[in-house]
Amino acid sequence: MRTLTVDVISSLDGFGAAEGWPGYWGKEGPEVTAWFEEKLAEDHAIVMGANTFREMSRIVTELEDPTFARMAEVPKYVFSKTLEPPLAWANTEVIAEDAVTVIRRLKAEGSVPLRTMGSMSLSKALVRAGLVDTLQIVLFPVITGQTGLSPIFTDWPDLDLELVTARTFDGRMQLLEYVPTPH
């Protein structure tokens, strides 16, 4: 049976981005970059919503990064009722069905792990449905109370979290991996 990991990149106060701050709040370093590359190299499929797909497919065509070739190889499931196939980003399947139903089926049918990319509304629905096996959070050492965009955990269900991994990157970022269970 497949596992599903919800990946979260967050400021300490729970925002996914902030106005006027660069990507990763300008705090990325060689250790966290190497870890992101290791995770991308692992066998997995990406699950995302239409907004994340639009943004990521724009980024991979406009910017150059050595990881983009690998991202093109990875199977991607995009949940959308507005996107129309075929999509320009290789190995991408548009799914117009209910995400919870499809993810439940995909988990039962396969063995390749599933990982979310962005898509906090989709992630929230998958958490609510009890389909998430691991919640993986990389905390960046910033508080963006005045400029924070995209609050991550708003309207999520209450969860008990069992810590299974904790790691520090570059002396400042924290990786926290949890097994979530409903409270």
Contact between 22 and 151 (Cβ < 8 Å): no
Residue linked to tokens 């990325």 = 28
Contact between 181 and 162 (Cβ < 8 Å): yes
Q: What is the pTM of this model?
A: 0.93
CATH 3.30.1280.10 for domain 4-182, yes or no, is: no
Quote the pLDDT of residue 26: 94
Angle at 24 between CA 83 and CA 122, to 5 degrees: 35
* Nearest residue to 95 (alpha-carbon basis) of 107, 104, 108, 82: 82
Quote the pLDDT of residue 180: 98
Read off the pLDDT of residues 97-154 as tens digits, 9 standing for 90 and up.
999 999 999 999 989 999 999 999 999 999 999 999 999 999 999 999 999 998 999 9
